[in-house]
Amino acid sequence: MSLPPSTLLLADPATSASLLPWIAGASLGALIVIIWQLWRMNSALAEQAEQLDALQSLEEMAESLEAMVERSDELGRRRLEHVLIDIRDGQKRFEERWLAQVEKQGGGSGSMPGIDPGATSLSERITNRLLAMGFERIDVLSPVEEVEAMADGDGEVRVEARRGGVAHKGHVLLREGSIADVRLR
């Protein structure tokens, strides 16, 4: 048995009024569930935003730490360079003072091998000083008469020598007949 289409559209008003509180309650329940789900999702997103902020601050800290490490490495290298420069300067001053003492004492037991401790002429003392500094094949370019004339005075003696296979030219400064400085390049 089939009902005409017009009867299906017409519903009994008494039954639809009794269903209305059920429909309203179900709708209200669904709405509460949706609101609760939205609130839960919002809380989860807020937690993730806090974690993201923490991660971003960690990344910033990592970048600043890397910059600090680079500065520290550079500072360490600079300190090491300065220490090495100080050591080299100290060694050079020690060597110059030692050579001056050896020269004043006329050699002795502390003289270096290859150096003539009994060197009397100024050109021999210049050669001994350059040998002690590690030079070899030393040529005094200034005339011998000119060099010996400076034995009790001040002046410059031109020299040429080799160290490590590299040729060096320059001069030896004399003050009061003693070797004051050696400048070779």
Reported in sequence order, the residue ranges of 82-185 that DSSP labels E, i.e. its strands, are 136-140, 155-163, 166-175, 178-184
The pLDDT of residue 120 is 60
Q: Where are the beta strands (DSSP E) in the chain?
A: 136-140, 155-163, 166-175, 178-184
pLDDT in tens, 9-53: 555 666 767 888 889 999 999 999 999 999 999 999 999 999 888
Residues in Cβ contact with 33 at an 8 Å cutoff, skipping those fewer than 6 apart: none
If you average pLDDT over every residue of the chain, what do you get? 82
Q: Does pLDDT of 159 surpass 90?
A: yes
- Residue 90 confidence (pLDDT): 86
- Choice between 104 and 134, residue whose per-residue pLDDT is larger: 134
Is pTM beyond 0.85? Reply is no
The closest alpha carbon to 168, from 160, 176, 178, belongs to: 160
Tens of pLDDT, residue by residue over 124-158, are 888 888 988 889 999 999 888 888 888 888 899 99
